[in-house]
Amino acid sequence: MQAAIAVRELTKKYEEGATGTLALRGVDLDVHAGELLMLIGPSGSGKTTLLSIMGCILTASSGSVHIAGREVSTLREKELPAVRLANIGFVFQGFNLFPTLTAGENVELMLDLKGISGIPAKKRAAELLDQVGLGEKYGSFPNDLSGGQKQRVAIARALAGDPKIILADEPTAALDSHTGKGVMDMMSELAHKRGRAVVIVTHDSRVMSFADRMVKIEDGVVARPAEAGPVPAGLLVHNVEQTGRSLA
């Protein structure tokens, strides 16, 4: 089965003055539809950089990135927004909702980017908010919502583009356990019931049990199993040496 995201020999170097920082070094990784993958690792290990490259927000210094079977690492920067719009939905730690738009309008904004506006957009936005349990909050502004509700609006917005891939950066970091669990339930549903490829960067040990697979990034490389540390039972930790390739 073709991977939703396929990364090969990925390297990212940040040029800073006379020296540079190698954020990623030769990363290989596949993510499949229907899978919930978690990227874990200490701060500064390169998790967010990897997520950004998979999300076509950053370009790699070398290596290849395939999104839904299409090579994107050779695309010019101005071609990347279209790839993101067609394939990827983002969920951010800080929710990143537009505070002057209502919950419904936040979702409509994504639909507008997809060329859907007017009554059809309002209808679809209402459906999406319903799906995340916030149908009655259509006209509420983000300031009037709780953290969990904001994140669910963000998920609804991410889904509005009908993406094959959901990338989430610390989606539960700003939430309490109960609320975080609710958000993770939704992420799990997106992967297992709706067939999306879901990649989550997280430090939150409370939510790791939701992962189908965990990949530990350390100093820009995928960690060897011996260095991965204890992991919850039943989880498979991806290791480039052990399996050579991502799960089929």
Partner 1 sequence: MPPLAQRNLFHDKVRLAVTLTGIVFSVVLIVVQLGLFVGFTSATSNLIDHSNADLWITSKNVPYIEQGVAFSERKLNQARAVPGVADAEKIIVHWTGWKRHDGGQESVQIVGVNVDSPLERPWNLVAGRVEDLKSPDAVILDELYKQKLGVTALGETFEVGGHRARVVGFTHGIRSFTTSPYVFTTFKNAQDYSAMREDQTLFILVKVAPGASVEQARRDLLAHLKDVEVYTAGEFSRMTTFYWMFTTGAGVAVLIAAVLGLVVGFVVVAQTIYATTMDHIREYGTLKAMGAPNSYVYRVIMKQAAISAVIGYVLGMIVSVFVVRASQEGGAAIVMPMPMAAGMFFLTLLMCVGAALVSINKVTRIDPAMVFKG
Contact residues toward partner 1 (CB under 8 A) are: 48, 51-52, 55, 57-58, 78, 81-86, 88, 90, 92-94, 96, 98-101, 105-106, 108-110, 112-113, 117, 157, 161, 169-170, 173
CB of 90 to partner 1, least distance (A): 6
Q: Are 48 and 167 in contact (CB under 8 A)?
A: no
Residue placing its CB nearer to partner 1 in the complex, 25 or 122: 122
CB of 145 to partner 1, least distance (A): 16
Residue placing its CB nearer to partner 1 in the complex, 183 or 228: 183
Residue placing its CB nearer to partner 1 in the complex, 56 or 207: 56
CB of 49 to partner 1, least distance (A): 8
Helix (H) or strand (E) holding 20: strand 19-31
Residue 212 to residues 36, 133, 196, 198, 215: CA-CA distances in angstroms?
Answer: 5, 25, 13, 10, 10
How is the beta sheet containing 19-31 ordered, strand by strand?
A: 19-31, 5-16, 62-67, 70-71
CB of 92 to partner 1, least distance (A): 6
Q: Are 107 and 122 in contact (CB under 8 A)?
A: no
Residue placing its CB nearer to partner 1 in the complex, 99 or 230: 99
Residue 136 buriedness (CB in 10 A; 0-12 / 13-18 / 19+): exposed
